[in-house]
Every structure is written in structure tokens, then in C-alpha cells.
Amino acid sequence: MNRAPLALTLGDPDGIGPEIALKAWRALRDEGPVFALAADPLHAMAAAQALELPRPEAVASWGEVAAVFPDALPVIPLPAAQGAKAALASIEAGVEAVLAGEAGALVTNPVSKARLYQAGFAFPGHTEYLAHLTARAPAPGLRGPVMMLAGGGLRCALATIHQPLREAIASLTPGLIAHTARVTAEALARDFAIARPRLAVAGLNPHAGEGGALGREEIDILAPALKQLRADGIDIAGPLAPDTMFHAEARAGYDAAVCLYHDQGLIPVKTLDFHGGVNVTLGLPIIRTSPDHGTAFDIAGKGVARADSLIAALRLAGEMAVCRREALR
């Protein structure tokens, strides 16, 4: 069965995106998944020359990608651009290809938020921008976006993302927790082929509040959400003490943790699998994964960047695309 190739974005052209794209192609060219880079070919060619890898090959359409992939990194050519403009053009081209059915899923290389903001970017990050770009497309279920990190046998979905910690805590409501859990459970069933997902919700306070002695958020915010979710038939545990829910024995009891703020979820994932963690956006009309690291400007162009996380993101995107296609048949 022929499968649509994955669409890989450039990321910031001055970062490690072009380099790890080529390294990921070198690692996957014999086994797949097949993918193409949407970018100005000059960015990829410069990286190939520096790494002494085969020159990427421009292709006229996504339909030509599979034939080229064993011999060279296929590139869907975009007009010449630099910096934030090149990064945004690549994202938009990748999204368009997936929405049109020409590509099976989107994998995004890291961008510099600071450079995007300087160029007038009006969104907190990649995740929110992708939600905007896909807002008019029909979704297969509940809409997010919900950011989930996966690595080391752990999945952590986040109720809040890129906010100062004070603001993140202030924004927590029973409705937000319940929606995050519902989107996560639905995505695990549809995009990960987990028939009956098991979720676990992390508490906010030490020892999950100690019955209110160390904070009432577990009682006033989490308990109502959990009661409703269980009434809706969702298998969900919690609130669990955050310091005891991420060791191996505890992880065996759930398929994904719902974490309340950014670092609560990212610290355990990165501790378990620093180089191979994957960022997954749940609740979008398209499948999107990304490496769980930044642009690494300090090592860009030196040939030392590791592609582990991008390779994991490409593999996961390919698996999710298969699961979603089967689920929506």
C-alpha cells in the first residue's frame, strides 16, 4: 500500500534543522518513513556540502518523493528566504500539503521564538500557530491543541504550555483539565491505537495537596474535573503526587499523564530520554510531531548535532498516520 510521504519543515535555517534533516534521511533512507523537506533547496545543499553527504534533490511534487528518497533527501522547493520568513514559509507549505492529502503528517524542525517575535509573529509558539493554520479544516474529533511529550516510555500531556508559572496556575479550571484529558484520551485511541486509554492526572501541590493541608487546588479544581471525566467513562487516576508518579512501576499503570504546567511534564520526559523525546500536538486536523529540542545555534554548522529526536519524531509521525488512517476508515 502506498503511503503519502511525511512533510518535514526547515525550522530556523541558521539552526541545526538542515543538518539534522540530512542526518535523519541518512538514518532512514533504507527503512523509512519516507519524507521530504519543504524549503529553499540552498539551505539543505549547504548543509549537505558541510557534512559531505549526497546533495538533496529538488522534486516537482510530493508524488515524486518516494522514488528519490533512497538516493537523496527530497526537497519541495520554496522561494529563497532567510530567517523567520524561511521558517514560516516552510511551516505553511507543510501544513498545506498535509491538508491537501499530498503528505501524510507534518514534522516540524525547531524554530527560534525570539526571531519569530522580532518578525511580528503573533502566536506564543509552533503549537498555537498550527492550530490557527488548521482552524478551518474539519477535525476528526475534539480540537486541541494539546501539547504532549513522548519519550522513554512516558507520555505527558500538558494542560498549560508556554506561560509564566503564576499565570499557568491561575488559568487552571475544571473545564481546562477535563478538556485536556478528553483530547488526550481521544487521540490515544485514534492516533495510537490504544483501545481504552488509561490516564493519570498529576497534582499541583506537594503530596497532591495532603487533603487540603498543602493547597486546595486538588480539591477545588482537579476533583470536579475527575468526577466528570469518570462519569463520562474515561479511565483516569489522580490527582497523584507528582514526585511519585513517574518511576517505572507507576508509569506501568497509565498510558499518558496529564500534567498541569510545562516543566511538570517536560522534566520527567527529558530525564528519561533526553536525546529522543518527541513533541506531539494532539487535537489537530493533521498529525504533527517535532523534535523535543531547540535550534541549537551554538553548534549549528559544526556537524555535531544529534538527529535522534528528529528520527524519533519522523518514526512516530509515520506510525500515527497509519493509526489515524485505519481509525477513520
Quote the cell numbers at residue 194.
Answer: 490504544
Clarify whether residues 129 and 146 are in a common domain.
Answer: no
The domain that holds 199 is classified in CATH as 3.40.718.10
- What are the distances in angstroms from CA 83 to CA 56, 79, 88? 20, 13, 9
pLDDT tens digits for 264-287?
A: 999 999 999 999 999 999 999 999
> Taking 70 as the threshold, does the pLDDT of residue 2 lie above it?
no
If DSSP codes are grouped into helix, strand and coil, which group holds residue 287?
Answer: coil
Clarify whether residues 177 and 215 are in a common domain.
Answer: yes
Clarify whether residues 57 and 188 are in a common domain.
Answer: no
Clarify whether residues 100 and 49 are in a common domain.
Answer: yes
Which structural domain range is residue 173 located in?
141-283
Clarify whether residues 256 and 161 are in a common domain.
Answer: yes
Average pLDDT over residues 134-160: 95
Clarify whether residues 6 and 135 are in a common domain.
Answer: yes
Clarify whether residues 300 and 275 are in a common domain.
Answer: no
Average pLDDT over residues 289-312: 94
SS3 content of the chain, % helix, strand, coil (to 5): 45, 15, 40
Between 1-5, 211-215, 217-221, 317-321, the lowest mean confidence (pLDDT) is in: 1-5
Clarify whether residues 247 and 307 are in a common domain.
Answer: no
Closest by alpha carbon to 188, among 152, 155, 160?
155
Clarify whether residues 59 and 167 are in a common domain.
Answer: no
CB of 13 closer than 8 Å to CB of 43: yes
Clarify whether residues 90 and 165 are in a common domain.
Answer: no
Residue 1 has a pLDDT of 43
* Residues facing residue 6 across a β-bridge: 35
Residue 301 has a pLDDT of 87
Of 265, 283, 301, the residue that ends a domain is: 283
Clarify whether residues 216 and 266 are in a common domain.
Answer: yes
Tally of domains in the chain: 2
Residue 3 has a pLDDT of 84
pTM of the model: 0.95
Average pLDDT over residues 137-151: 94
Clarify whether residues 219 and 318 are in a common domain.
Answer: no
**What DSSP letter does each residue of 136-183 carry, written as one string?**
TSPPSS----EEEEEETTEEEEESS-SS-HHHHHHT--HHHHHHHHHH
pLDDT tens digits for 167-177?
A: 999 999 999 99
Element (H, E) at 56: none
> Taking 50 as the threshold, does the pLDDT of residue 139 lie above it?
yes
Confidence band, pLDDT 50/70/90 cuts, at residue 12:
very high
Average pLDDT over residues 57-66: 96
Confidence band, pLDDT 50/70/90 cuts, at residue 162:
confident
> Taking 60 as the threshold, does the pLDDT of residue 328 lie above it?
yes
